Amino acid sequence: DAPRTPVANAPAATDRQPARKKGETVLRQGLLTRAIAEYTRVVEESPQDWVAVWALADLLVRAGQTERAVEQYLRVADALHARGALPKAAEAYARVLRLKPDTEHAQLRSVDIALTRGAAVEARQRLRALAETRRRGGDFRGAVEAVRRIADLAPDDVDAGLAAARASAESGDTVDATARLVSLAMRC
């Protein structure tokens, strides 16, 4: 099977059709390595052929080349995000996060897309994952920032507010911690 790609409005590819067809043909013959080589050539010749880039990423996943696949999906996702094609960008970022859950760039973009769509619950989930990624990576200041954003997205969530106050206090920002606790106390 030829890889299916959800990238809409890709640039015209009439000059790349023979190369893509060759890639599809060798893939149907079960020659995954050759198909990757053909799609790699198409992408090198036409780096903004997002359909080919997405197809290459799919092939790389099948071949177990996760790091290379993540790079290609990120290229597509960032291009789609820049064009405002947020649902498709979200899908590409989700693929990145399935392959490499600690990809901070994809986590941040997923948060932004979720907020743009009005999906605050999803944004908070993504922020929790981001906070954990940052904490594991030793970026405690960044983790605190993510925990604070979670609380700011859900001002009525007492647990999130307490977690943000605690994170602020642990980071030495007693002014923010105090302000958050006072704000919580006034709401109760």
pLDDT in tens, 108-149: 999 999 999 999 999 999 999 999 999 999 999 999 999 999
Contacts of 71 (CB under 8 A, 6+ apart): none
Confidence of residue 29 (pLDDT cuts 50, 70, 90): low
Distance between CA 132 and CA 113 in Å, rounded?
20
Question: Residue 34: its pLDDT value, please?
Answer: 86
With 70 as the cut, is the pLDDT of residue 92 above it? yes
Whole-model pTM: value is 0.77
With 60 as the cut, is the pLDDT of residue 28 above it? yes
Mean pLDDT confidence for 144-158? 94
Question: Residue 127: its pLDDT value, please?
Answer: 96
Distance between CA 46 and CA 53 in Å, rounded?
9
Confidence of residue 31 (pLDDT cuts 50, 70, 90): confident
Distance between CA 25 and CA 28 in Å, rounded?
5
Confidence of residue 150 (pLDDT cuts 50, 70, 90): very high
Q: Of 76, 74, 73, 57, which Cα lies nearest the Cα of 65? A: 57
Q: Please report, for residues 130, 144, 171, the alpha-carbon distance to residue 139 in angstroms, rounded to integers and kept in the order given.
A: 11, 9, 11
Distance between CA 77 and CA 63 in Å, rounded?
21
